[in-house]
Structure 1
């Protein structure tokens, strides 16, 4: 794979919003906690602040993390920094996170179309294109990110995932290549309702098409072992502290 994002050997542990056991999710302390237990990857999310900054946040509002229904997009970055998310931590910018952790690889889910340009600018300013994966549930947004940062790693959007799942039982590599549309990873839940998404045919066909399969969000060690035995390439997990020793024990 072309991107430096994939240079460490798989399987990969992607610390989901950092390691938020004692630090609030998606904050610099959560990323530091992930790094401290040996994580090489963190998964995070980006919205746009009122003053046009790529702000690290999963939700469109502050309701879940700070008990306030105000949208992230209604506050300036200075106002977001002043919000107490717990343990003295506040919102950070994507640029601050990339600068603060130059050895970490970031899996960045761009949540809204308005945040694309600011995200791209942060990646360019920090020279981080080789250590980020840019993605979105929107296929259109994912393609826009890939075009804006040539050579950057991406994972398929929702439409691509659906096409990949339907291609898998047929064993048609060409259909999988078309579903990926240039993406280097499929990042999927193990199940979607009654549908089992992660199957041996899906994994084999993705690999044949040159893509990795990362599964979210896997927190139980028995599930981690089972998925690794199936051949998945990455675990997106809230418990990097459990996943990393488990993978080391397999070596």
Structure 2
């Protein structure tokens, strides 16, 4: 059965990458939650998608230019009136919240534009402290980072994110040594394409799949998971098939 992964939580109804979005995703029956992590100026792993705080908070400037204390002072409600005052969470806090739920977790390392030295080590340490390696997928657009995670002995599944069209991406992913490919949904070219990837030993989890029609298509094609902004809608479509 195709798993439903809440993309940055249930972000259509609560501020993305915040505790309310994660709690709502759990309540809506998601199988997993996708989050994004970066480093603060003082080396704390925090959960945020953009490399700057401008879009989702009332602050401005790069995430890496803010200490954790400075990030804590920001309103991360992204303009959602019901959630004014919500804070930027740390990875540790997020793992504290999600560990008891039994849900899976995709941790995307946002180290394609910012280098973030030591991010891989800190993420692995946080996972080890919560004993969650078997429930986590580690993904990034930075494929050098995927190789570094392998070198560091990561035992979690590694997911290869990409944005440009790749010809037979399962060949490259197999050489890279990862366990999953996470393509844009438009690059998943049918059930046969999915079967080729799966025959190479790869899980397929497209992003971001939101319409009922696209969700039904992905479920029919048998992908391992979908990243979606609307986990409740995805659950209804899957349950109705």
The TM-score bracket by the shorter chain reads 0.7 to 0.9
Matches within 5 A, 1:17-56: 17-56=8-47
**Alpha-carbon offset, residue 178 of structure 1:** 3.1
Q: Is the 8 A contact 1:146 1:152 kept in 2?
A: no
**Pairwise CA distance, 1:128:** 1.3
Report if aligned partners of 1:48, 1:118 keep a CA contact under 8 Å in 2: no
- Are the counterparts in 1 of residues 173 and 181 from structure 2 also a CA contact under 8 Å? no
Alignment deviations for residues 89-120 of structure 1 (CA, whole Å, 9 cap, x no partner): 11011111011111221101101242222212
Matches within 5 A, 1:1-251: 10-86=1-77, 87=83, 88-102=85-99, 103-112=102-111, 113-114=115-116, 115-158=119-162, 165-167=166-168, 175=171, 178-179=174-175, 181-191=176-186, 196-250=187-241
| Residues 14-49 of structure 1: CA deviation (Å, up to 9, x unaligned) | 100001233210001110000011112001100100
Q: Measure, in 2, the Cα distance between the counterparts of 1:236 and 1:47.
A: 20
Give the Cα separation in 1 of the matches to 2:189 and 2:58: 35
Partner of residue 6, structure 1: none
CA 217–177 in structure 1, closer or farther in 2 if over 3 Å, else same: closer
Give distance in 1, aligned partners of 2:161 and 2:205.
Answer: 13
Aligned residue pairs: how many? Answer: 228
Distance in 1 of aligned mates of 2:141 and 2:2? 23
- What secondary structure is seen at the aligned counterpart in 2 of 1:216? coil
* d(CA) in 1 for partners of 2:192, 2:213: 21
Once the two structures are TM-superposed, the CA of residue 233 in structure 1 deviates from its matched residue by: 1.9
* Contact in 2 for aligned 1:188/1:216 (Cα 8 Å): yes
Q: Secondary structure at the match of 1:14?
A: strand
Quick check: 11-20 or 73-82, which moved more?
Answer: 73-82
- The offset of 1:211, in angstroms, is 1.2
SS at match of 1:62: coil
Aligned counterparts of 1:210 and 1:219: Cα–Cα separation in 2: 26
Q: Aligned partners of 1:99, 1:141: CA distance in 2, in Å? A: 25
Runs of 4 or more, structure 1, over 6 Å off, are: none
CA deviation after TM superposition for structure 1 residue 214, in Å? 0.8
